[in-house]
Amino acid sequence: MTHMQALPLLDARTGGRPAIALSHAGRGELVLFLHGVGGNRTNWLEQLRAFSPHFLAAAWDMRGYGTSDGYEGPLSFADICDDLLRVMAYFGAESAHLVGLSMGGRIAFDFLRRHPGSVRSLTICSALHRASQMPPQRRREFLDSRLRPLREGKSLADIASAVARSLVSAGAPPGAYEALEESMRRLQPEGYMKALEAVSSYEGEIELDAIQVPTHVIGATEDSLVDIAAVRAMAARIPGSRLSEIEACGHLSNLEQPEAFNRLALDFLLAQEGIPCSTK
């Protein structure tokens, strides 16, 4: 990929309630980066820098996360999709390329199902389209492991280290674990707990065989949360999809191996826009 200078990074907030906090850079077609349950928009800073010479690259704090507003009641995927529409309207965009990691990938699938005309492409990273693909016992264990310490009075700072360690690979480079741990410490406890409950029970209705937008599936071979075999099987069902695998990498490939992630994801998106690119 030829080197181009990153454009200035800006912060913004949408109108409406809950207000959604954004970071963005660049101009052109909109690319929206959607974080996972333990994330926030700062997880995507390396991607905003890499993509901004080619696109209007933006990352959000989902409702109840980061500096976005909280909300009443349980987390609804329909509400999240309405938030995405407000983000697109903020940028004056009728459609966007969606890049979603973990829960962000599930949000991208759900948004495509509800608003197919608003999606230019999907990049699904370390995510499956349905919670049911995780065995029920494993799902209960995962949810309990995350929620029980908080319900027993521990803080997010107390659990951040253990959760972060479980999501990076044994060979994660310096800084990846620390970035994830800091991300966990910055969570809004109520928003985090609502999101965990929602994503663990989510049963999306999207039919993989019927997806018509260009789709790129990125998996990581040492992902302890989303098995690479399940990622391969899902990608095989999406017509014309591209499958990429990042070796020796854990769940958050954008943090653990940003150069590899950026090369794969950006080359795919440039191809969708007909922009010459090189992975040399």
pLDDT tens digits, one per residue of 227-279 = 999 999 999 999 999 999 999 999 999 999 999 999 999 999 999 988 776 44
The rounded distance, in Å, linking the Cα atoms of 27 and 220 is 30
What are the C-alpha distances in Å from 210 to residues 47, 97, 214, 271? 29, 18, 12, 22
Query: Maximum Cα–Cα distance for the chain, whole Å?
Result: 54
CA distance 42 to 35: 9
pLDDT (0 to 100) of residue 149: 81
pLDDT of 39: 93
Of 19-23, 96-100, 181-185, the range with the lowest mean pLDDT is 181-185
pLDDT score, position 52? 96
Question: Which alpha helices (DSSP H) does the chain contain, by range?
Answer: 45-51, 77-90, 103-114, 136-151, 156-167, 176-185, 189-201, 228-237, 253-256, 258-272
In order of 40, 123, 229, 245, 249, the CA distances from 222 in angstroms are: 22, 19, 11, 10, 5
Q: What's the N-to-C CA distance of the chain in angstroms?
A: 6
Instruction: Kindly state the percentage of the chain with pLDDT values over 90.
Output: 69
The pLDDT of residue 20: 98
- In terms of C-beta density within 10 A (0-12 exposed, 13-18 middle, 19 or more buried), how is residue 155 classed? exposed
Instruction: Compute the distance between CA of residue 179 and CA of residue 35 in angstroms, rounded to an integer.
Output: 14
Report the alpha-carbon distance of residue 218 to residue 124 in Å, rounded.
Answer: 6
Over 70: is that where the pLDDT of 2 sits?
no
Domain 10-272: which topology? Rossmann fold (3.40.50)
Structure tokens of 240? 């014309």
* Least trusted range by pLDDT, from 19-23, 35-39, 145-149, 257-261: 145-149
Report pLDDT digits (tens) over 61-115: 999 999 999 999 999 999 999 999 999 999 999 999 999 999 999 999 999 999 9
Q: What is the pLDDT of residue 138?
A: 73
Collapsing DSSP to helix, strand or coil, 144 comes out as helix
How large is the average pLDDT for residues 16-41? 96
Where is pLDDT greater, at 129 or 279?
A: 129
